[in-house]
Structure 1
């Protein structure tokens, strides 16, 4: 969606976005272990496992340092997972060149129960405004294997850094209009391209990656179900969902076509966990009812993780313009 395109155009050009996640023990069944061979990491909905909750704080390594501050603000709540993005400007960065990955890997390996989530672009020049006809050519080239080596290099980089169990949010918001890794110009070859990437990364010895399919909420440029590449190459069904149309109220965001309820139902039908890599305030200002609704939704449906975008206008900790929403968020997620 356009607001995230503006944000990542700045962040990814220079570095990456980071989200920090803290654990809320809402449910009591642990996730199934992954062996890297495909299939499900568990199902969404009631009975799913622990929920990792979080907030975008800072791109790159400083985000790790800010976890202690967020923890203190939330009354000492334990932070157990971290989330960042690879820049989509060059293939070298998509291959895992940013040195901040070392910092995140060290953080991940300080505790065995932590979760590392990494958004990975499927194309270079991912925010360069590439036209549809050229995007279609790039999709077809990827589907034929032209980029397999880039993703094998990324997989080796992650394994060598000691994070072979990374959750890979591959080609996020693929149903939108902006990213060069968007699906609409050629959905069938886009699905084939996703499958090539997953296959390439799974060839690397020692990997135990989980792949998260995370569209925008709503139909956007194309129905996100039309881009789904298959149960054997998807482990988590995610969704990026901000407080904006379509859906003036939270209830409308739940019931709209390709909205929150359809995501949960789709994931359940396919035997997958759910996630919310990006969510937050936007078009409707300080909206505590939206925040309350989202947090209740997470508590009811037990996603693997969710991450609020914590800068203005979306956030609740580093953004002072949403005091009522801040109060709801802090009271709901503080330890004790």
Structure 2
């Protein structure tokens, strides 16, 4: 989803407290056979509420609406307009860092653009030139500065959602105009950020669900530079039903299978309602999928039309969230949540 859309996060405030945003899954893929571990560590659950410091305040407000449920994934975006912003200039990073460091078990999730003018409708030919320049290392210094900024703020373990939705048509950091050099560019960025002393970043490769402009596997830059295989998945075509969203080429099942084959955690940095409106069946199924497949974290996009707390237009889906919360508290956890009714 576009950064411009995320600036709408203060609109449509609802009085409906919903039960999604509680601990509902567990870390990573199931333990390998013979590992001797049967534990289900808790997932970090959150919501995108605002790109800046107001998002931190809204985390507290949302937790209050949820009866004190702890939200452990703080999720925001760096603006992709200028290189100085990609380098970590926004003052709000300090607020997010303080939120992260208030509890040891929290995650700070930061979407990082790979190009300036990231929503400027740059044509494919120019994008290809920019990708090749990045592959030559010409932008490495920007990402080194970002890494130093994050380390200095005390968040060296930030989850970096780098170049998200790269398989799409729109962002300047899209992959399709030159996939091979795009992968080299990703590798160059990761090397630059990992070169900074004290860093412990996790890099999250998060395409759109489905093929979109290019199959996302063609953009995958390599196991040594990816820690998490994420996916942004909204209730929209391709995939009119949730089952189709699971089974479609490059859909939810392929993400899980790909991550398992490559020994990676999974995540859902963005998900929510969209083209199909207030759809409680989708919400029930997506919550069940999350409960069954144990992402490291998930973050609902909580503004209209996607959301459930800051948006009043999805009351039936909010009821599903309440049901989820009731099952979580009353029956021992999300595994008991019947998402296929």
Fold conserved (TM > 0.5)?
A: yes
Aligned to 2:102: 110
Q: How far apart are the structure 2 equivalents of 1:178 and 1:26?
A: 32
Aligned counterparts of 2:324 and 2:60: Cα–Cα separation in 1 = 19
Please say if 1:278 is aligned against 2:273: no
Change (3 A) 1:64 1:84: same
Deviation at 1:310, TM superposition (A): 1.0
Instruction: Look up the match of 1:307.
Output: 299
Partner of 1:44: 29
Contact 2:167–2:208 (Cα < 8 Å) also in 1: yes
Once the 2 structures are TM-superposed, how far is the Cα of residue 102 of structure 1 from its aligned partner?
Answer: 0.3
Q: What is the correspondence of 1:67-86 to structure 2 with a 5 Å cutoff?
A: 67-86=59-78
Shift in Å, 1:246 = 0.3
Aligned-pair CA distance for 1:152: 0.2
Are 1:234 and 2:219 matched, yes or no?
no
Aligned length: 310
Equivalent residue runs for 1:244-263 within 5 Å: 244-263=236-255
**TM-score (normalizing by structure 2):** 0.87
Shift of 1:333: 3.5
Q: Counterpart of 1:119 in 2: which secondary structure? A: strand
Question: Would the alpha carbon gap of residues 295 and 11 (structure 1) be closer, same or farther in structure 2, given more than 3 Å must change?
Answer: closer
Q: Does the CA contact (< 8 Å) of 1:12 and 1:86 recur in 2?
A: no
Query: Residues of 1 paired with 2:103 and 2:170: CA distance?
Result: 37
Equivalent-residue separation in structure 2 for 1:219 and 1:212 (angstroms)? 18
Structure 1 equivalent of residue 177 of structure 2: 185
Q: Which runs of 5+ in 2 are unaligned?
A: 9-19, 32-37, 330-341
Q: What is the distance in 1 between the residues matched to 2:55 and 2:7?
A: 15
Which residue in the other structure is 2:4 paired with?
A: 9
Distance 1:306 1:280 in 2: 11
Determine whether 1:326 maps to 2:339: no
User: CA–CA distance in 2 between the matches of 1:73 and 1:66?
Assistant: 10
Q: How far apart, in 2, do the equivalents of 1:330 and 1:89 lie?
A: 38
Q: Is the 8 A contact 1:278 1:306 kept in 2?
A: yes
Measured in 2, the distance between the counterparts of 1:153 and 1:320 equals 40
Question: Structure 1, residues 23-62: CA drift from partner, whole Å, max 9, x if none?
Answer: 51644xxx6xxxxxxxxxxx42576642122222222001
Shift of the alpha carbon at 1:81? 2.2
Q: 1:292 matched to which residue of 2?
A: 284
**After superposition, what is the alpha-carbon deviation per residue over 1:250-284, rounded to whole angstroms, capped at 9, x for unaligned?**
01100000000000000000000000000011111
Q: CA deviation at 1:22?
A: 5.1
Worse overlay, 113-122 or 324-333: 324-333
Cα displacement (A) at 1:161: 0.3
Contact 1:23 1:51 in 2 (8 A): no
Give the aligned CA root-mean-square deviation in angstroms: 1.7
Give distance in 2, aligned partners of 1:246 and 1:326: 24
Q: What TM-score comes out, normalization by structure 1 length?
A: 0.89
